[in-house]
């Protein structure tokens, strides 16, 4: 794939990672892309690098448009290595280029690489940099999702180069959302938010408000992962979705997550689900033996009720449930109502470990429930009563 013009004299020079199956623990069934943009103005500006093992591809796309000696600026919106991995190679080829980043970005670059001789333009929210016919404006978005994260707005093109924000781990031939499968893009955008940005809803709301305060007129959002949002329908859809996800408002849904050894916890999970179904509450049920945690987390975004079940193995939580709880706790979902349940053979108590996670997250809970060996019909009725207590 050659460099592609996305706006007049603004080119996509990124790379596609078709074979990516996971991104630091987050399963990526559709691969990913690391997008980078070259702005051909009086001062030629590259925005963002790519992951280190695809550096040569990015370099070839840039070289098809311009000699490296002509690049004036390299904007580093974010130092995580999927976007900065190629920066050292770029700086070797274009030592005259100045790195444009914020103070945290400079520090992070110095912590990652040998930056000897690199020159910087340090920016903050509201700063503007003229590159000729265009002005770049910057919005720092600290902890969305790293301290250094920032977005670059190209005023004259009404183009927001949003880095991780509005991204999707989605590799496809289509460069624009309008040419891709819209439902798949939206689902991957939701998954990206749930698995990467979930803990930072307040920061996301603040960034959206800052964009509004600065009066950014956005016609195109070009993230550094996945497809580009162009056209009013697409841009409005992703902005509205982010507004909703960042607000933390749920849709009253229930999510049941469990694993099972000999079917006891599965029987309890079925009983839990039947209460939600009888009450007309939308419910999804995931057994961790065949669902990855990153897929489960997507449903947490709009869930009100969370029920987690585990068998007891060697006096501990079942390992897949423990792994799920560790991952989920790190993403810090807020304002949930929760219920822990499970089964044991001879020593009860592991459900308290689930309960402890709920309490650490500050969720509202009902008393945990656990049963010895196989739940009989009277036990099934008892657990149903506990769930009814939660939704009352």
Residues 77 to 136 in contact with ligand FEO, rule: CB under 6 A: 78, 80, 82-83
Look up residue 192 and give its two tokens.
């990206």
- In the complex, the smallest distance separating the C-beta of residue 117 from ligand FEO, rounded to whole angstroms, is 26
Distance CA 192, CA 187 (A): 9
Distance CA 361, CA 381 (A): 29
Residue 169 annotated to the active site: no
Catalytic residue among 24, 111, 114, 378: 24
* Rounded (5°) CA angle 32-38-43: 155
- CA end-to-end distance (rounded Å), the chain: 56
Comparison of 200 and 276: residue with beta carbon closer to ligand FEO: 200
CB-nearest residue to ligand FEO: 80
Cis? peptide before 228, omega within 30° of 0:
no
Binding characters for ligand FEO, 219-238, by CB under 6 A (x = yes):
-----xx-------------
Residue 258 annotated to the active site: no
- How many residues interact with ligand FEO (rule CB under 6 A)? 9
Residue 112 annotated to the active site: no
Q: What is the DSSP letter of 263?
A: S
Residues 318 to 377 in contact with ligand FEO, rule: CB under 6 A: none
Bridge partners (DSSP) listed for residue 138: 152
Catalytic residue among 57, 80, 259, 371: 80
Comparison of 168 and 343: residue with beta carbon closer to ligand FEO: 168
Indicate whether 16 belongs to the interface with ligand FEO (CB under 6 A): no
Residue 192 annotated to the active site: yes
CB 44 within 8 A of CB 66: yes
Q: Positive or negative, the Cα torsion across 235, 241, 244, 245?
A: negative
Residue 83 annotated to the active site: no
Residue 225 annotated to the active site: yes
Specify the DSSP element, H or E, that contains 258.
strand 253-258
Comparison of 224 and 343: residue with beta carbon closer to ligand FEO: 224
Comparison of 163 and 172: residue with beta carbon closer to ligand FEO: 163
Nearest to 368 by CA among 336, 388, 339, 329: 339
Residues 156 to 175 in contact with ligand FEO, rule: CB under 6 A: 164
Site residues (vs ligand FEO, CB under 6 A): 78, 80, 82-83, 145-146, 164, 224-225
The residues annotated with a catalytic role in the active site are 24, 78, 80, 82, 145, 164, 192, 225
């Amino acid at each position: 794939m050659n460099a592609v013009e996305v706006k007049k004299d603004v080119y996509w020079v990124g790379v596609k990672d078709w074979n990516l199956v996971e991104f630091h623990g987050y399963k990526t069934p559709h691969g990913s892309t690391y997008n980078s943009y070259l702005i051909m103005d009086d001062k030629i500006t590259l925005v963002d690098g790519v992951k280190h093992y695809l550096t040569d591809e990015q370099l070839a796309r840039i070289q098809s448009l311009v000699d490296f000696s002509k690049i004036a600026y390299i904007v580093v919106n974010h130092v995580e290595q999927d976007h900065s991995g190629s920066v050292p190679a770029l700086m070797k080829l274009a030592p005259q280029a100045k790195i444009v980043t914020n103070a945290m970005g400079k520090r992070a670059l110095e912590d990652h690489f040998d930056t000897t001789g690199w020159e910087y333009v340090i920016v903050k929210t509201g700063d503007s940099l003229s590159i000729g016919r265009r002005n770049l404006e910057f919005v720092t978005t600290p902890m969305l999702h790293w301290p250094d994260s920032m977005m670059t707005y190209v005023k004259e093109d009404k183009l927001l180069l949003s880095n991780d924000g509005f991204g999707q781990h989605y590799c496809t031939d289509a460069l624009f959302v309008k040419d891709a499968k819209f439902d798949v893009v939206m689902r991957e955008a939701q998954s990206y938010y749930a698995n990467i940005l979930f803990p930072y809803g307040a920061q996301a709301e603040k960034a959206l408000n800052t964009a509004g305060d600065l009066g950014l007129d956005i016609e195109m959002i070009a993230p550094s992962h996945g497809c580009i949002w162009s056209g009013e329908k697409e841009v409005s859809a992703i902005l509205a979705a982010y507004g909703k996800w960042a607000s933390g408002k749920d849709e009253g849904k229930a999510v049941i997550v469990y694993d099972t050894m000999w079917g006891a916890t599965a029987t309890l999970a079925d009983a839990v689900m039947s209460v939600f179904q009888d009450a007309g509450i939308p419910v999804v049920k995931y057994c961790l033996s065949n669902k990855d945690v990153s897929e489960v987390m997507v449903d947490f975004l709009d869930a009100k009720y969370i029920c987690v079940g585990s068998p007891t193995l060697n006096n501990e939580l079942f390992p897949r449930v423990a792994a799920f709880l560790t991952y989920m706790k790190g993403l810090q979902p807020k304002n949930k109502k929760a219920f822990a349940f499970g089964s044991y053979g001879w020593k009860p108590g592991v459900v308290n470990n689930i309960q402890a996670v709920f309490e650490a997250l500050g969720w509202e809970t009902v008393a945990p429930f656990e049963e010895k060996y196989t739940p009989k019909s009277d036990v099934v009725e008892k657990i149903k009563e506990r769930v009814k207590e939660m939704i009352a």
